[in-house]
Each structure stands twice: as C-alpha cells, then as structure tokens.
Chains A and B, each alone.
Chain A
Amino acid sequence: AQSVTQLDSQVPVFEEAPVELRCNYSSSVSVYLFWYVQYPNQGLQLLLKYLSGSTLVKGINGFEAEFNKSQTSFHLRKPSVHISDTAEYFCAVSANSGGSNYKLTFGKGTLLTVNP
C-alpha cells in the first residue's frame, strides 16, 4: 500500500515570492506521482505528473516538481507566484504496477494563499 504526506496544511506567501509545497510518499514498489490543483468551488485539474525518466517535471502555470527517490519526496515549486495561484494543491501517488492498478492515493492537501 502507498501513502502520501503533505507536510504543510497551509502556506501563505506574498505575490511574486517563490513557493515550495512539500510532499513525501511511502511505497514498497516504484510509483507514479502527481500534483493536482483545486481552485475555489471547482474540481481538481492535473498540474503535472512523474511517470518515469527525468526527475524534474514541468507542468502548467509555471509549476515544476522534482522526484527524489532517495528522500521519497515530490515537492512542488514555483519561482514567482501570482494571486491567481491561490488554491488547494494535492499530491497523489499510485503504485507502478502496470495497467492493473487503478488506485490513486491523495494527500490531505495544502492551501496556498497568495497575498498582495
């Protein structure tokens, strides 16, 4: 079984500041990793994903994340945030067991609030 820990439930930052949202995972097998974003009163949408290959993954809206296997982490970063980035961010993990695994395990979420 796999699990996800998002280390911060809330992250307040000022506009144009850099931000890092932290995610650690636990799994006995290799994994796929995802970051989803949820804007207020909306469903989730995919920001980026790591399946294999380069450990630095770039996503939409200027976000990127780095897969660190030794530290079992997948932290999300953005060098300069905007007010419009205010949202809840979810890290998710799935066991890499081919097409037979359908289960995506979500973290509890990090609320990013960007202040002017």
Chain B
Amino acid sequence: NAGVTQTPKFQVLKTGQSMTLQCAQDMNHNSMYWYRQDPGMGLRLIYYSASEGTTDKGEVPNGYNVSRLNKREFSLRLESAAPSQTSVYFCASSEAPGAYNEQFFGPGTRLTVL
C-alpha cells in the first residue's frame, strides 16, 4: 500500500497563477483533510471531507477550494495564488470521521508563490 500520495512534491508559482494539488489514498478511508504547515505555526486545517460527497471549511479556507472527486481522491485548488500561500501542504486521511481516529499523512507539497 502506498498510503497517502501527493503530487506534485514541489511547485513554484507566480502571483495570480492557479494550480491544483492532488491527493489520493489507497486505504479505503472515508475522511480526508488538507492542512498547511508554516514555520512556528504547526498545522492548520484548510478543508476536510468527512465522507465522499461532502466537504467543509476548516480553520483557514480563504483562497482555496476543494473537490472530493471520489472516495480515494481529494484535491485542493488555488484559484489565484498569493505569496501568503507559500507553505507546505499536507493531505491526510482517516478511516472514519471524528478526530479520535488516527490521521495518516502524505509526504507534503512544498509550494512557493513569488
């Protein structure tokens, strides 16, 4: 099992460009999450999907959109990138909704917006 995979690993964008970060999991998990990690800030939840067909905002959703394409895939889109979105983005999944469930993380996407 690959677990949680993310593409790309690295990306450099110019201000105003758009891009989609891809995430897939092969553990048959119901719930998926997108976080951003900034130095000294820990991880902050951007969006989550409790189950296929549902998505909800997390702590820092502004400037992002998500799509739960199917049970395996959960993508994060930046419509018009800004330098404040320079960060490391992590996708995670858990077997079921409920924060008591262990979350499994992907390796991250390091995004720089110039």
Contact = CB atoms under 8 A, between A and B. Distances in A.
Nearest to A94: B99
Minimum-distance CB pairs A-B, first 5: A43-B105, A94-B99, A106-B42, A99-B98, A106-B43
7 contacts: A41-B107, A41-B108, A43-B106, A46-B102, A101-B99, A106-B44, A107-B42
Contacts of B90: 43-44
A2 B105 CA distance: 22
B100 A32 contact: yes
B41 interface: yes
A116 interface: no
Nearest to B48: A102
Interface of B: 4, 31, 33, 40-45, 48, 50, 56, 58-59, 90, 92, 96-100, 102-108
B105 A51 contact: no
B100 A94 contact: yes
Interface in A17-64: 32, 41-46, 49, 51
A108 B41 contact: yes
Which DSSP category, helix, strand, loop or mixed, fits chain A's interface?
loop
Contact of A102 (B40, B97, B102, B107): B97
Counting contact residues on chain A (CB < 8 A from B), the size range is: 20 to 34
Given A9-B40, A99-B96, A109-B42, A46 B107 contact: no
A32 B31 CA distance: 18
A41 to B, nearest CB: 8
